[in-house]
Amino acid sequence: MSAILEFQKVSKSYRVAKRRVPALCDIDLGVEAGEVFGIVGRSGAGKSTLLRLINRLERPDDGRILVDGHDVSQLDDTALRALRQKIGMIFQHFNLLSSRTVAQNIAFPLRISGELGDDEIRERVAALIDRVGLKEHARKYPAQLSGGQKQRVGIARALSTRPRLLLCDEATSALDPRTTQSMLHLLNEINEELKLTIVLITHEMNVIRSLCDRVAVLDEGRVVETGAVADVFLHPRHSVSRRFVHESEDVDEDLLNTAFDRVDGRLFRLTARGDTTYEPLLSGVARECGVDFCIVSGHVARIKNVPYSQIVLGMKGERVETALERFSSKGVTVEALR
């Protein structure tokens, strides 16, 4: 694998009322070709700024941004336009041209680049319309579509020039949960079918969980944690990441701590991933080692397509250590909380 996108010590500030307001500080990131890379952060964390630096809708104050090894800020106008034509972008508010039909919107980037003839454009647009499931809507105008349908047009439009990199700015934030799911599903399929690299930004950890391979957590213009989604999700190291995970799982940290206080004995967090998730380990180990346990909190879900379970146990008994070893040997990650 090679990095298709790299941020090297990138900083960016905005000038507001004659003062410089920092938006991003010292960003170092690498995105591998073919992966779905998520950037999560609160409102104002600098996510959009980060994304817009990639196709130079914004310029950095400092540092370098490399796309396919080329420094984006070194490009002249022609090279920049060529680069932009090969980077797809979708937006929270879709940004479709209201004066053009679905088909015309999807054809628009191709008309701009001028690399294809009319027939080829028509063919490619028809295939894309089919791909995103809008066959009946090709001649409609954006105003006649639902939000989910508009975003499908946005996706098809972004894919029309066959880009290698797709940037998504809060692509699902204006959609209801169900539509969000179908959109994430579509993006996932596209990532796999086309081996397309996707960089997406969101404030919802659930979007990261269902779609991304790796994630960077952005807080006040800095990357506070980055890693494989499963690692960041199951073992967040930074308090901001932890809060995002808890929010997505509807966990109230204070309540959880009160619950922990009420448990007698030691506390452990057990994490199982993949097939281990569905093995009847708890009762077996408890029986063998003669320990008693209570479940204080627990969560079973999926990260991308990998199931996992994470539970906090209060455990009592003579052979707690043996039980823990047994869990570890079965591939369960054990962390002692108390």
Task: Tell me the closest approach of the beta carbon of residue 75 to ligand ATP, in angstroms.
Answer: 22
**Count of residues that interact with ligand ATP, criterion CB under 6 A:** 13
Contact positions toward other proteins, by CB under 8 A? 55, 57, 80-85, 87, 89, 91, 93, 95-100, 108-109, 111-113, 141-143, 161
Selected from 10, 27, 36, 45, the binder of ligand ATP by CB under 6 A is 45
Tell which one of 4, 37, 47, 204 touches ligand ATP (CB under 6 A): 47
Choose the one of Mg ion, ligand ATP, other proteins, none that binds residue 216, judging by a C-beta under 5 to 8 angstroms depending on kind.
Answer: none
Binding partner of 16, given Mg ion, other proteins, ligand ATP, none, CB within 5-8 angstroms per partner class: ligand ATP
Counting beta carbons within 10 angstroms of the beta carbon of residue 227, is it exposed (0 to 12), middle (13 to 18) or buried (19 or more)? middle
Q: How far is the CB of 123 from ligand ATP (least distance, A)?
A: 37
Residue pair 315/285 in contact by the 8 Å Cβ criterion: no
Exposure string of 17-41, with b = 16+ CB inside 10 Å and e = fewer, is eeeeeebbbebebbbeebbbbbbbb
Least distance to ligand ATP, CB of residue 203, Å: 5
Cα of first residue to Cα of last residue in the chain, in angstroms, is 40
Q: Which residues pair with 30 in a beta bridge?
A: 6
Neighbour-count burial of 118, counting CB atoms closer than 10 A to its CB (0-12 exposed, 13-18 middle, 19+ buried):
exposed
Q: Which is nearer to ligand ATP, 14 or 278 (CB)?
A: 14
The binding site for Mg ion (CB under 5 A) comprises 48
Partner whose binding site includes residue 284, from Mg ion, other proteins, ligand ATP, none (CB under 5 to 8 Å by kind): none
- Distances in Å between the Cα of 84 and the Cα atoms of 57, 169, 283 are 10, 15, 56
Q: Give whichever of 25 and 138 is closer to other proteins, judged by the CB atom.
A: 138
Partner that binds at residue 84, options Mg ion, ligand ATP, other proteins, none, CB closer than 5 to 8 Å by kind:
other proteins
CA dist list (Å): 57 to 24, 45, 53, 123, 281: 15, 18, 6, 30, 52
Residue 100 site contact among Mg ion, other proteins, ligand ATP, none (CB < 5 to 8 Å, cut-off depends on kind): other proteins
Contact 316, 292 (CB under 8 A): yes
**203 lines the binding site for ligand ATP (CB under 6 A):** yes
Name the minimum Å distance from CB 57 to ligand ATP: 10
Binding site for ligand ATP (CB under 6 A): 14, 16, 21, 23, 41, 43-49, 203
